[in-house]
Structure 1
């Protein structure tokens, strides 16, 4: 096995991690750490919390690497662990009914140029401003591709609650986009 962790193949990384070799663990962290930090950042309130989620998540990855089935993708398996870990840290109260007034103007058309002017970072900033429950359901559905059934099982909420929180998240984002459009004019 090469001494430089960046020179390891994915198979060598997996085998090395299963054997408890620190250079393989380092290689795994270097390869997937930055990606998983961006995943966890979508569920965390701030950067330090996301870093805690990643650290805790990698401990779980190393502890359970022997359960990894090599016919699946390693990155997908790690991502699932990171998301599950982040969600366990989120307060259950985040998914209780949140009654936030939503104006009746959510059906207004939004100029497509408004979206185009926003960077991915600006859009994620707006998503992060959503109430916690809305933000998590929005991220799981719109970004991670979970179904409402999967979200309901993962968060121990009803499918209708998942749908409702997604709808409210979209409406709130639409309001924020409308406000940005007004400011831009």
Structure 2
């Protein structure tokens, strides 16, 4: 049975409100969805909370999936919306110019032969301030437009663009510092 067919089989059990299929769906998809939640959360505990909220919302709205597109993609979208909703509830939208970027981010990196590992980049993104991280993830990873980001996060489209620009600037600065640190270490 293919993965898609397997998910459809599980989904049909969930639609019948059978707990064993709900548990099976959770066990099957929670590792992937946890990865999505981690991109928006401050830490693992918050990501776990988002994941739980997402699955509760999913099980309360099973009937809303119309079979159009990927089931997994639809569930992923629910997780992203839960993360955004959590962000909006606890929003402390502060745009700051100096974050003490030379701190612990540099110490934990693992680069070999001047190549940036995916884990290094994800760590840099995770260390962005909440607003910057949310806008960056929504735009660069989830593919939201600035208009959509502004609507979902309660900010103007211009502020979304500015926040993305600042997030990219921070990441660029951190990458440059990391490269310079490595060049000095080699010399």
What TM-score, normalized by structure 2, do the two folds share? 0.82
Deviation at 1:115, TM superposition (A): 10
Partner of 1:48: 45
- What is the root-mean-square deviation of aligned Cα atoms in Å? 2.1
CA contact (8 A) 1:13 1:28 kept: yes
Instruction: Provide the residue aligned with 2:157 in structure 1.
Output: 159
State the Cα deviation string for residues 137-166 of structure 1 (Å, max 9, x = none). Answer: 000111111111111111121110110000
Return 5+ residue gaps in structure 1 as ranges.
1-5, 103-112
> How many matched pairs?
167
In the alignment, is residue 14 of structure 1 matched against residue 11 of structure 2?
A: yes
Counterpart for residue 172 of structure 1: 170
Structure 2 spans left out of the alignment, 5+ residues: 100-110
Q: CA deviation at 1:23?
A: 2.1
User: Matches of 1:71 and 1:99 in 2, distance apart?
Assistant: 41
> What SS is found at the alignment partner of 1:82?
helix
Q: C-alpha displacement at 1:101, in angstroms?
A: 4.3
Could you tell me which residue of structure 2 aligns to residue 92 of structure 1? 91
- Hey, what does 2:28 align to over in structure 1? 31
Map 1:27-176 onto structure 2 (within 5 A): 27-90=24-87, 91-94=90-93, 96=94, 98-101=95-98, 117-176=115-174
Scaled by the length of structure 1, what TM-score is found? 0.83
